[in-house]
Amino acid sequence: MKINKHLLKRCSAVIMAILIAYFASEAYFNISSMKVMAQVYKYGARGQQVKQIQTKLKQWGYHNDSVDGIYGYNTYLSVKSFQISNGLKGDGIAGSQTLAAMGINPSKEASSETASGQNVTNNKDVDLMARLINGEARGEPYEGQVAVGATILNRTRDARFPSTIAGVIYQPGAFTAIVDGQINAKIEESSIRAARDAINGWDPSGGAVFYFNPATSTNKWIWSRPLIKIIGKHRFCS
């Protein structure tokens, strides 16, 4: 029996195409599944999944605040306390390991929620905030660097300011580091850590939306703002 070489080649091509399509679909399914499993909840997140996290923590005595579905600072502290008590990394972020330890399995429905919330940040936000901190508070105590980052976030939640990190930072005349170019200075590692700590919920500023250095400020109006606290050379105000 003679085998038609052209037919054999065509069949081989068809089989190869089917195999490629199959493995491609499998890879897509696995990646999609990983996205669901990699769902994380942190400061600023909202939704039913956050309520479930708060409910669990409240039942176990870690969360003494309301169950409102908003991942605020108290929820961040509650998650961090739970993590430390259970031998997990105490970063205050409810990632896959923390959720598993709580007995929570993120569903597809939950993954469609705003897991990072209105003000959640991406890597570009972290980088931009770190560069602003570096330009504004380089050489300040670490707590003061985090406080500068927290002030930026506090502004995104205040109707008087833009609602995004980039919008706040680049608002005309808002920060000296933008005007004098210090935002482009060589970045220090502490500035990156400070940006991450601020984004993860640490607010040493006490809710401030303004800060200034009294030794260098020429703005008389800023002195009228109610003082919250002084950290290093900066006065943090409401």
Band of pLDDT at residue 124, cut at 50, 70 and 90: confident
From the candidate CATH numbers 3.40.50.1360, 1.10.10.2520, 1.10.10.10, 2.60.40.10, the one assigned to the domain spanning 123-237: 1.10.10.2520
Band of pLDDT at residue 47, cut at 50, 70 and 90: confident
Architecture of domain 48-111: Orthogonal Bundle (1.10)
Of 78-92, 136-150, 184-198, 222-236, minimum mean pLDDT range = 78-92
Beta-carbon contacts of 141 under 8 Å, excluding residues fewer than 6 positions away, are: 231, 232
Cα–Cα distances in angstroms (integers) from residue 128 to residues 72, 101, 115, 124, 197, in the given order: 22, 33, 21, 6, 14
How many C-beta neighbours within 10 Å does residue 134 have? 26
Q: Could you tell me which of 145, 150, 212, 141 has the C-alpha nearest to residue 176?
A: 212
pLDDT of 44 above 90: no
pLDDT of 215 above 70: yes
Q: Computed from CA positions of residues 184, 190, 191, 193, in that sequence, does the dihedral angle turn out positive or negative?
A: positive
Are the beta carbons of 57 and 82 closer than 8 angstroms? Answer: yes
The average confidence (pLDDT) of the chain is 80
Amino acid 131 reads R
Coil, strand, or helix at residue 106?
coil
Coil, strand, or helix at residue 164?
coil
